[in-house]
Structure 1
């Protein structure tokens, strides 16, 4: 277990990226989400490795991104906050493909995070679709549930974030950080 690497997970549109940006603004190290960057790059180059085309390839690209982020975080002093982690790939594959290859499960066993994972629960009041997020709210709820199962199955404890303004969420995370020190 790497007790200084913290994951934010949940469904799309639950405020993870906004919270991560606020944590970065507060001076904490962060690692960005793989999915949006991969989708943009794949669409830009006409590649098939995105959710709307080849979901298995998309999952492999996300796995590579998350592993690279995990390794990069080893070089960072102090706590690092991730917008999703390797078990998110397990949740994605479980939800959309119904099968998780052994190498993905092995990656989740080898590259560990803090034992408490922050879960951004579905929040209809802030959920929005955009050009990168084609999922509707029902799919966002199903995704959040898949992530909960994936992290619990990988041996993590999930701590739901409050449905509160970003400043209160930052305080909640900083309090967890203080308790973990």
Structure 2
């Protein structure tokens, strides 16, 4: 039996990684966000912010990596697997930045459904920017709107995770799968 694919998404700095790490500590299977890896690889090649300099290439690399994760999740047995960001996040970001993308992006999202979507709302008190997170909090708010909209446009009803401690948010997710 294939594991149910459960996405944890949200704008930048909403606590996704902290929750995914806590889920792992509890013995849950998780696949991690890959955008930092794509960004760091580009920086090694002398491109400071691949998404800003070549947004379509960055998005193609992200979509390819997330598609690999999706296929990897298909091979995992068990009840469920948590995925830090889904394929649809790529389209939400592209739409936010008003960057056109090929129809193939849409087809990939339609052909690779998830079982449940949890979305973390923007939360100013925990937001921090760093070397790979260049967005301001105001931009994070707008990106969050695009994420909600994109997932809804594909027929999902994202479950909003309340602004609580990491432990309580993790428990909320586990109680709602």
Give the corresponding residue for 2:86. 85
**Do structure 1's residue 175 and structure 2's residue 164 form an aligned pair?**
no
Residue 31, structure 1, aligned to residue 31, structure 2:
yes
* Correspondence for 1:109: 110
Q: Which residue of 1 aligns with 2:161?
A: 161
Name the CA distance, whole Å, in 2 between partners of 1:174 and 1:117.
12
Q: Which runs of 5+ in 2 are unaligned?
A: none
Residue 122 of structure 2 aligns to a residue whose secondary structure is coil
> 4+ residue stretches of structure 1 with deviation over 6 A?
none
CA deviations over 1:96-144 (Å, ceiling 9, x no partner) = 1343421000000111111x31011000000001111111101111111
CA deviations over 1:122-170 (Å, ceiling 9, x no partner): 0000000111111110111111111111111111111100100000011
- Ranges in structure 1 where 5+ consecutive residues have no aligned partner: none
Offset at 1:3? 7.1
Q: What is residue 51 of structure 1 aligned with on the other side?
A: 51
**Deviation string for 1:63-113 (max 9, x for gaps)?**
001100000011112211111000001101111134342100000011111
Does the 8 A contact of 1:87 with 1:151 survive in 2? yes
Shift of residue 41, structure 1, vs aligned partner: 1.0
- What is the TM-score when the length of structure 2 is the normalising length? 0.94
How many residues are aligned here?
A: 175
Change in CA separation of 1:140 and 1:63 when aligned onto 2, cut-off 3 Å? same
**Aligned twin of 1:97:** 98
Residue pair 1:48, 1:57 contacting (<8 A) in 2 also: no
Give the match for residue 22 of structure 1.
22
Alpha-carbon distance, 1:45 to partner: 2.2
**Per-residue deviation, residues 2-35 of structure 1 (Å, max 9, x unmatched):** 8710001110000011101111111111111121
The two structures have a TM-score, normalised by structure 1, of 0.92
